[in-house]
Structure 1
Amino acid sequence: MPLNIFQDLDGLPRIILTEPTGSSAEVLLYGGQIVSWKNEQKQELLFKSSKANWKQPKAIRGGISVCFPQFGNMGSLDQQGFTRNRLWSLDRDPSSLPPPDNHSSVDLIFKSTREDLKIWPRSFELRLRITLSAGKLVLIPRVRNTDNKPLSFTLALCNYLIVSDISEVRIEGLETLDYLDNLVKRSRFTEQADAITFDGEVDRVYLRTPSKIAIIDHEKKRTYELKKNGMADAVVWNPWERKAKAMSDMGGEDYQSMISLSSAVIENPVTLKPGEEWKGRQELSTVSSSYCSGQLDPRKVIYGFQ
């Protein structure tokens, strides 16, 4: 399908993806960031902060962003890397990926520049395919080592999703798993609850997670389903009231209507030899809240999906 490319208010290009049932997605070339995903009823599914900074070089708080080449306090860079603060390009040569059938899709690419090499001395190509279909948004990130030395990285697809009331939300699929708690100096714990619920700030990296995780929003009668491959970890974050009010790009009450659930590679960084490529996959969809939580029983869940 042809791409609809527009200029935003700051003159930066954005791409509008649409599909026959009426859903849509909006992608900025700055940061390769998805800033809108609407369902067939034109309801927005991605959270954006009421105080988001839309001016370069700041990243926009919300949507879906690619955090690379490191995520979290794992190295010398900003904890969310630098590719979300750079201008990406349309990828005219998606190479090894097959055509996306008749779905609405765009291929983006980011190549490290001389300036980037000064702060992170490894050459790479980061590609991202974004595909929209009825009720579904698929992201396929790929990293190729174009350097003559091994390349090691961590990565996250940071998904900010709209919910009705964070106090009424539960996440299923992470029970019984180990996690690193960023609020307690990355101490390691094991999840004891039947599902993750929220009554205060949460900032955790869940390790060796299943391919399927669900966010159940009782009030909206909506469940987000996250499926992933190649990204073993998952990050759950909500700043709650005190931290939200202290953040310059977050509205004081915004925490009530958002949850961040990220697909990530953190505990075991990826290492690529020169010329090697890594590929991940993330699929976001919405289903009815009649969704059976037993489908996410960790004893039955399948660690992998096609």
Structure 2
Amino acid sequence: MNMNSYLSERDQNTEATVKITKDKNGVDLVTLQNPRGFSAQVSLHGGQVLSWKNERGEELLFRSSKANSKPPAAVRGGIPICFPQFGNRGSLEQHGFARNKIWEIDNDPPPLHCKDCDRKAFIDMLLKPSEEDMKIWPHRYEFRLRVLLTSDGALKLISRIRNIGSKVFSFSIAYHTYFSVSDISEVRVEGLETLDYLDNLHHKERFTEQGDALTFETEVDRVYVGSPHIIGVFDHEKKRTFLIRKEGLPDAVVWNPWEKKAKAITDMGDEEYRQTICVDGAAIEKPISLKPGEEWTGRLELSALPSI
């Protein structure tokens, strides 16, 4: 493809910039920047957001110092996309295969009604199954992903998954977002009070959240079902609040491996569990089913605000 034509079409007469380079493995790396100085980096390896920085250049997403960036291994950090499943089930690998595949730049995406898309920095990507993929998951689909940096620095991910085959299929999905925090003991998550959750540490047994806010003193691995459209992650030490807004994603995953499990994760530092919390917009409890020709859309918006 002609990268120059792509850039001129997308960025003509705007101050936002989109730059495409290669990483050390030869994979396209897309850098988005808005006029205020916010930036994001997206790799076509997994269609994964690797970095999101504020106007002061502070990194808002966690990425492990031991992360393996060589395909097909998924990168530990940023926002891996878990599709067509979250967790372990059947013959598919954990969290599905989308995060391990090389996506392509989508030069001709169908119209997307998005009031924030004009004159903003964004990239459209596309994942389609190969014949080898069909042997593992025998369904024909088009997965379109737009990653967009708004004028005020919010990060948006808009997914559209269409069934282009001849039979019904179902999937689950999660944006496995690793937020960068000062210390996990200084973090609380609000918006999940009184909700039921499936506890992956207790064989997916169903419990009800009892606290006024979720705080962390040990390993947590939960799927909160029927969660609200807005969830807040408060970092007391950094005086920063992450707001998670989501549509089409009824569930929320909350995960931190804590000390013991972190030491068993080869691509994560022993103490790095302290610097991150995963809070995902997701659709897990009730898989999404698409008939031939049907399309599903999910939207995630992340913003970082100062808090008192």
Q: TM-score range by the shorter chain?
A: over 0.9
SS in 1 for 2:172: strand
Q: How far is 1:76 from its partner?
A: 3.0
Cα pair 2:123 2:146 within 8 Å, conserved? yes
| Match in the other structure for 2:198 | 180
| Match in the other structure for 2:14 | none
SS in 1 for 2:260: helix
Cα pair 2:18 2:33 within 8 Å, conserved? no
Q: How far is 1:191 from its partner?
A: 0.1
CA distance in 1, matches of 2:119, 2:80: 25
| Match in the other structure for 1:116 | 133
CA distance in 2, matches of 1:56, 1:286: 30
CA distance in 1, matches of 2:163, 2:153: 34
CA distance in 2, matches of 1:203, 1:76: 22
CA distance in 1, matches of 2:205, 2:197: 8
Matches within 5 A, 1:158-169: 158-169=176-187
Q: How far is 1:94 from its partner?
A: 1.6
| Match in the other structure for 2:43 | 28
Residues 1:145 and 2:163 are matched in the alignment: yes
**Over residues 254-288 of structure 1, what are the superposed CA-to-partner deviations in whole Å (9 max), with x where a residue is unaligned?**
00000011111001111111011000100000112
| Match in the other structure for 1:262 | 280
SS in 2 for 1:64: coil
Report the residue type matching 2:130 in the other structure.
T
CA distance in 1, matches of 2:273, 2:84: 27
CA distance in 1, matches of 2:54, 2:132: 39
Residues 1:44 and 2:59 are matched in the alignment: yes
Q: How far is 1:57 from its partner?
A: 1.2
CA distance in 1, matches of 2:89, 2:286: 11
Residues 1:129 and 2:153 are matched in the alignment: no
Matches within 5 A, 1:38-117: 38-98=53-113, 100-117=117-134
Q: How far is 1:140 from its partner?
A: 0.3
Report the residue type matching 1:118 in the other structure.
K
Report the residue type matching 2:55 in the other structure.
E
Q: How far is 1:135 from its partner?
A: 2.5
SS in 2 for 1:9: coil
Any gaps of 5 or more consecutive residues in structure 2? 1-10, 12-16
| Match in the other structure for 1:294 | none
Residues 1:12 and 2:27 are matched in the alignment: yes
CA distance in 2, matches of 1:101, 1:55: 34
Q: How far is 1:74 from its partner?
A: 4.2
Q: How far is 1:61 from its partner?
A: 0.4
| Match in the other structure for 2:253 | 235
Report the residue type matching 1:62 in the other structure.
G
- How many percent of aligned residue pairs carry the same amino acid? 56
Residues 1:225 and 2:240 are matched in the alignment: no
| Match in the other structure for 2:213 | 195
TM-score, with structure 2 as normaliser: 0.92
Matches within 5 A, 1:197-212: 197-212=215-230
Q: How far is 1:219 from its partner?
A: 0.2
Report the residue type matching 1:161 in the other structure.
F
| Match in the other structure for 1:246 | 264
CA distance in 1, matches of 2:92, 2:262: 23
Any gaps of 5 or more consecutive residues in structure 1? 291-306
Cα pair 2:34 2:153 within 8 Å, conserved? no
**Over residues 13-38 of structure 1, what are the superposed CA-to-partner deviations in whole Å (9 max), with x where a residue is unaligned?**
10000010001000001100010000
CA distance in 1, matches of 2:89, 2:22: 36
Report the residue type matching 1:106 in the other structure.
I
Q: Which moved more, 1:98-107 or 1:189-198?
A: 98-107
CA distance in 2, matches of 1:128, 1:161: 20
Q: Which runs of 4+ in 1 moved over 6 A?
A: none
Report the residue type matching 2:168 in the other structure.
P
Q: How far is 1:89 from its partner?
A: 0.5
Q: How far is 1:69 from its partner?
A: 0.7
**RMSD of equivalent CA atoms:** 1.0
**Over residues 198-233 of structure 1, what are the superposed CA-to-partner deviations in whole Å (9 max), with x where a residue is unaligned?**
001000000000000000000000000000000000
